[in-house]
Chains A and B, each alone.
Chain A
Amino acid sequence: MKLFERAARVIPAGIYGHSSPALTVAGEFPYFASKAEGCRYVDVDGREYIDYMCAYGPIVLGYKHPEVEAAAQRQRRDGDCFNHPTYLMVELAERLVELVDFADWAVFGKNGSDMTTWATQVAREFTKRKKILKVRGAYHGWHAWCTIGHGGLMEEDRAHVHDFLWNDLDDFHRQIKKYRNQIAAIVMTPFHHPAFGDSVLPNSGFFKEIEITCRREGIVFILDDVRAGFRLHLGGSHRFFGFEPDVICFSKALGNGYPISAALGRKELEIAASRVFLTGSFWNNAVPMAVALACLQVLEREKSIAHMQRMGELLMGGLHELADKHGIPVRCSGPPSLPFLTFAEETNFYRSQRFAAECVKRGIFFHPHHNWFLCAAHQPKDVQETLQKADAAFEVIKETFKM
């Protein structure tokens, strides 16, 4: 708390954005990290946690993964930030284009927002249309057109951004009809994962209908795979759900914690992509690109995605069993590698908050309001330890809420 007080004296909000204590259970959750390895991290006060947030997604192989760190170290010896990109940018683009079935080109940035925003500009350049359609409550980054924040916005920022409801094709078609020939892009995540809500998978045929409509209406279909990318399918989450977008955006898991993002697209969009300016002081940096290549290699060789799914199933199955044992109704949602647990019969998150806080007290980092992340470093023994501690947390829930 002393460190936070220092922070609040010199940093607006003390800690801002997704790691703000205001978004967890303030006073009961850790605020600052000090070190991490595998699937565990240590906070600034020396308490260790089995981590089910994985730095909110980027850590896909585990903290300080040896092959990733070796790749970073090798490149660091030659340098990182230059006047020009290195050969690694070409190698990484080639590798990604090879992995993602529909893609013919790739560009790079640092964060998910860089790519989702740029992709909408490419769509506008390609279609010469203004409007962007997105799912209500979906998160695509912090830029003005899509931020969940309220401050500093003008009406004009969202004048051409419209929403439809997840899994509601009638609502989708209403928007298509309303803005016919005006929609440049539809931006969607592969499953709906709103904060303060259950994750919702796409209904059968939902994405296929959107894909067909986009083709028919000349709309660019952008898949924001920033959060789920490389946790559902190595070739992009559209492969997991069986559809095909026109552009896909990656970040988070691509660099196992190193700052890198990528957008990949179809041949037809390449000229438009070349016309939309894209840059940043550190966007050509070589170390994250070396890391991304190593990360993709390990993910493929170790079949890490299947492993994360197995561990996720083990975890969620175990939590469900424990909840049943205590007579506490819960809901498990989302795919196993990005699961989430909420308490049935409640929408106000009191039990979720207490449960997460009790788990944190016992060295398990679950978020009460945001989907969780598995990584390749989670092993059955970690899950078992988690379940053992979660058992005690459920006991507290039962007592506190007289269930």
Chain B
Amino acid sequence: MQVKSGVKNRLHAKIRAHLYLRAILTGMEDLASYSQEARDLTRGWHFALKIGVIGGPSTTLVFDDGMIRRSVGPKKRPFGMKLNVRYATYNQFNRFFEGKIFFPPLFTGNLLHLFKLKKIGKLAALLTHYLKPEAAALEDRAFLRRHAQMTLHALIRSTVIVSGLDPIAQAALDHFPEGLAVFGIEGQEGVVWVRSLKGQLLEGFGQTPSALPDVRVIFSKPEIVCALASQKLDTQAAIGKGLLRIEGFAPLADSIGLVMERVGEYL
């Protein structure tokens, strides 16, 4: 599993782009359900925005009169009106996404939608606010709960993405226990699940593939999710204090945790 430094840098950029596109940007779905401002910004929109790297990953967000969802697969084009925004390299996309340097992307599709870019920029700022809020914003408990839920979703999505691309995570998958793990925040609706099957991880939200998961991971309060996502949680101490409950086949949660730790390498 030795990775040469040039290859390592390219791999790092590639994984980061995958995470931004498939784990972070897809948080727009949650954003629209949580934020009135996001719904107002996109009210009356009926189009799809595809953003990605040429020859690499992409995400299609479907805007439907205030609602946002990610479209999975090329066949599910809900509207003929589509705007494609494509970057030449992973690095260009990453640096744009991180707000460092603006590289002009390649626009194709229905260019009439270009006028919406300003509002999309506002949406992106809103997403950042929800995923990386200022400390003061977290004093609002309702906002904190939404932030934690979105963070948990992003973290689980990131974990699954990393499991398919990161060499160390892939090595861990060689001996990964199979089963279904469910993650949730006590008192909050909406669970996130990860299924380990035949050396692959899959994720989803809401309805779980099986009524009885092999392991349940329950965060007692939103702050614990935030601490975990920022790699500031002493997991064992949290379990001992009852702030984090793991019920059932703990080795599955432990193995997922190992891959989850790899996310910190990229984000």
Contact = CB atoms under 8 A, between A and B. Distances in A.
Contact of A8 (B179, B215, B241, B258): B241
Interface in A336-363: 347-350, 353
Contacts of B76: none
A22 B236 contact: yes
Contacts of A118: none
A1 B241 contact: yes
Interface residues of A, number: 27
A196 B234 CA distance: 23
A4 B242 CA distance: 11
B250 A350 contact: no
B135 interface: no
A21 B239 contact: yes
Contacts of B187: none
A13 B236 contact: yes
Contacts of A353: 247-248
A15 interface: yes
B249 A8 contact: no
Contact of A26 (B175, B214, B240): B240
B212 interface: yes
Contacts of B236: 13-16, 20-22
A26 B242 contact: yes
Interface string B201-216: 0000000000011110
Name the interface size band of chain B. Answer: 20 to 34
B235 to A, nearest CB: 7
Given A196-B249, A347-B214, A349-B248, A8 B1 contact: no
Nearest to B180: A348
**Most A Cβ at <10 Å: residue of B1, B212, B236, B251:** B236
Contacts of B1: 155
A353 B250 CA distance: 11
A contacts with B: majority SS: loop
A23 B247 CA distance: 11
A5 interface: yes
A150 interface: yes
B228 interface: no
A196 B248 contact: no
Contacts of A13: 234, 236-237, 240
B234 A22 contact: no
A348 to B, nearest CB: 4
B208 to A, nearest CB: 14
A354 to B, nearest CB: 9
B246 interface: yes
Given A13-B236, A22-B236, A155-B1, A348 B241 contact: no
B249 A348 contact: yes
Interface string A191-210: 00001100000000000000
A27 interface: yes
A31 interface: yes
B215 to A, nearest CB: 7
A1 B237 CA distance: 11
Contacts of B241: 1, 4-5, 8, 14
A21 B249 contact: no
A350 B239 contact: no
A348 B240 contact: no
Interface string A139-158: 00000000000100001000
Interface of B: 1-2, 175, 179, 212-215, 234-237, 239-242, 245-251, 258, 261
Interface of A: 1, 4-5, 8, 12-16, 20-23, 26-27, 31, 136, 150, 155, 195-196, 347-350, 353, 369
12 contacts: A13-B234, A15-B240, A20-B236, A26-B242, A26-B246, A31-B240, A155-B1, A155-B2, A347-B214, A348-B249, A353-B247, A369-B250
Given A347-B179, A347-B214, 8 more contacts: A1-B241, A13-B234, A150-B261, A196-B250, A348-B179, A349-B250, A350-B247, A353-B248
